[in-house]
Amino acid sequence: MAEQKFISELFLENNQFILVGLTGRTGSGCTTTANILESKSIAFPELSGLSGFYKGLDKRRYSIVKKFAEEHWENFYSIKVSDLISIYLLLLPTVKLTSFIYSCGENIAKKSCESLVRKGVLSKSFLKENYSDVIKQLLDHHSEIDFSDPKITRSFIRILQLVRKFTRDLKAELNQLESGLYVSVYQSAGKSIRRIGKVDAEYESKDFIPSSVFHLPETINRVIKSIRKVKNERAYIVIDAIRNPYEAKFFKDRYAAFHLVSINAPDEHRTRYLQKLHKFSPEQIKKIDDEESGKGDSEYKHLTNPNVKKCIEISDIHLFNPKNEYDNNNVLKAQIAWYIALMQHPGLISPTSMERVMQVAYTVKLNSGCISRQVGAVVTDSDNSIKSVGWNDVAQGQVPCAMRSIDGLINDFHSETYSHYERNNEKFREKAREFYDIFKPVIQQSSSFKGRNISYCFKDIHNSIDNKSNQVHTRALHAEENAFLQLAKYGGVGIVGGKLYTTASPCELCAKKAYQLGISEVVFIDPYPGITQDHIINIGTMPPKLIQFRGAIGKAYHRLYEQIIPIKDELDYMLK
């Protein structure tokens, strides 16, 4: 018994507290995933119900995690970000709430908004049930909620239950007023909170308050702490859903037990789902995608706007969610069993070949000297045996962008570091000087820049001359291109029918090269492939398949698959 107690204590941290943050594009399945995790009892699908999703040894791996997950299942408590945004909305005075909803619509009358606020669910809010004090405490980050008072505890639980129903009812009313209004209102509310710490119709004209970027995650964190206190520290919690990468970083920095999980659905399945169930038009879907991919022209957009594209890029675990059959969530459930079992008991099984190869691509991307984005790529044969690796960077012998500086460009004229064009083109140097003159006083006055190398992007400066966005002028090779060139440089065999793994998604140029090389599969992480699939991949007689990566990556790869103690020793201790 002493040995079993010893083993239990080793795994205690994993079993006591798990925090999962979900991210993904609207319609990909974050809410479905949260609902599955909330289930009090669950039966995971048999292999026969997965339509060949797992093959080879992965079938045995799944059988192991399925059994473990079912035996050790504990339901998660779901914190919906939309519910917390509802609380911010409810604290607004009637006039301001009306103005905010009106500002989010496209073709709605202000009188309709007034009617919704005065006669709809907003007029019957649970604030009238004497919970306003507890709600204000929740949003007041300078106060502590007194959970030693049973009345407060009961009120808190009741609020979390009531706000869930309230959000559902408000969603229906907003969408009845105008199709897609719910998404617009809650996206705008999120941006307003990240910019000024509250909801305001005129948030874009207000001065940016840097600490507001973390206002919403601080509120979420207060709910997490509250749930843990109510449940005596033993709690499994899922956040549905994280849309801003800085919010994800907030939780990564605070909780070792936090995993950011992206839910990815094929474009055609997701589009059909949004059109059929939510009645979104193609224009509305495009607007949502643009909003969630970090686009926009507002100041501080990289801090305050949703950026699901970046959230997916930094996710720890990627789940694939085919939505080709309504209500069939078997594939999604199977992956949930896989990774929840590993969160509870790391090292229970070994990684898949897809995870193993992508982890290599993820690791080699750190070699990149690109200051915009680091990307890694791996080329394998048909059996996932690695033949070459590459990362986005300048040609061998040139100095990477991260190791050059704007000060050096203006003052040093080093011929091996800065090109003849950069040293002698009058228009380029004029633009570079503008950049230098803007940043020089800031660099000199701010302690944040002490000891920093202030790099610059050649492409950005060059494109600003003609006010164009031309990718041809980048100094760096793409990661996929670099991996292909290593094959030509050092020799390689067995590539026809092989695979390309990339931590991003291939552009049209790299997709064409993969096609020409006879690559059979392109495995990628970033689900924003532009026109690559529609224009390059889906044509001809030997097109490669585009496959969305699924699995654990980065630190999570080690946290989930590294055994706390060797399995043999664990079994020996337990059997003694």
Domains in the chain: boundaries:
77-315, 354-393+476-558, 403-472
- Backbone phi, then psi, for 110, in 5-degree steps? -65, -30
Edge to edge, what strands does the sheet with 545-548 contain? 386-391, 376-380, 499-502, 521-524, 545-548
Edge to edge, what strands does the sheet with 258-264 contain? 77-80, 235-240, 17-23, 258-264, 317-320, 551-552
- Count how many Cα atoms sit within 13 Å of the Cα of residue 477 in the half-sphere of its side chain: 21
CA separation (Å) from 394 to 301, 397, 400, 482, 528?
29, 8, 6, 9, 24
Residue 366 DSSP symbol:
G
User: Which residues 6+ apart lie within 8 Å of 67 measured at CB?
Assistant: none
- Backbone phi, then psi, for 460, in 5-degree steps? -65, -45
User: Which residues 6+ apart lie within 8 Å of 430 measured at CB?
Assistant: none
Counting Cβ atoms within 10 Å, is residue 15 exposed (0-12), middle (13-18) or buried (19+)? middle
Report the 10 Å Cβ neighbour count for 446: 10
Report the C-alpha gap between 517 and 368 in whole angstroms: 24
- Backbone phi, then psi, for 499, in 5-degree steps? -130, 150
Report the C-alpha gap between 433 and 428 in whole angstroms: 9
Asked whether 378 and 386 are in contact (CB, 8 A), the reply is: yes
The separation between CA 298 and the C-alpha centre of its own chain, rounded to angstroms, equals 21
Alpha helices in 11-121 (DSSP H): 12-16, 30-38, 57-71, 81-90, 94-104, 110-119
CA separation (Å) from 54 to 334, 346, 367?
10, 20, 33
Local confidence pLDDT in tens for the 576 residues of the chain: 666 666 666 665 667 899 999 999 989 999 999 999 999 999 999 999 999 999 999 999 999 999 999 999 999 999 999 999 998 998 888 899 999 999 999 889 989 999 998 888 887 766 555 667 777 777 778 777 776 777 777 677 778 888 888 899 999 999 999 988 998 999 999 999 999 999 999 999 999 999 899 999 999 998 898 888 877 778 999 999 899 999 999 999 999 999 999 999 988 888 888 888 777 888 888 888 888 877 665 666 677 788 999 999 999 999 999 987 778 899 999 999 999 999 999 999 999 999 999 999 999 999 999 999 999 999 999 999 999 999 999 999 999 999 999 999 999 889 999 999 999 999 999 999 998 888 888 877 888 788 889 999 999 999 988 877 766 778 999 999 999 999 988 876 778 999 999 999 888 888 889 888 999 999 999 876 666 666 677 777 788 888 999 999 999 999 999 998 888 888 887 777
Asked whether 330 and 52 are in contact (CB, 8 A), the reply is: no
pLDDT at 37: 97
**Domain 354-393+476-558, what fold?**
Cytidine Deaminase; domain 2 (3.40.140)
- Helices 215-230 and 81-90 meet at what angle, rounded to 10? 110
Report the C-alpha gap between 351 and 342 in whole angstroms: 11
SS3 content of the chain, % helix, strand, coil (to 5): 55, 10, 35
Radius of gyration of the chain (CA): 26
Counting Cβ atoms within 10 Å, is residue 33 exposed (0-12), middle (13-18) or buried (19+)? buried
pLDDT at 296: 62
Burial 176-211 (b: 16+ CB within 10 A, else e): ebbebbbbbbbbbbbbbbbbbbbbbbebbeeebeee
Alpha helices in 425-545 (DSSP H): 426-445, 458-466, 479-490, 508-517
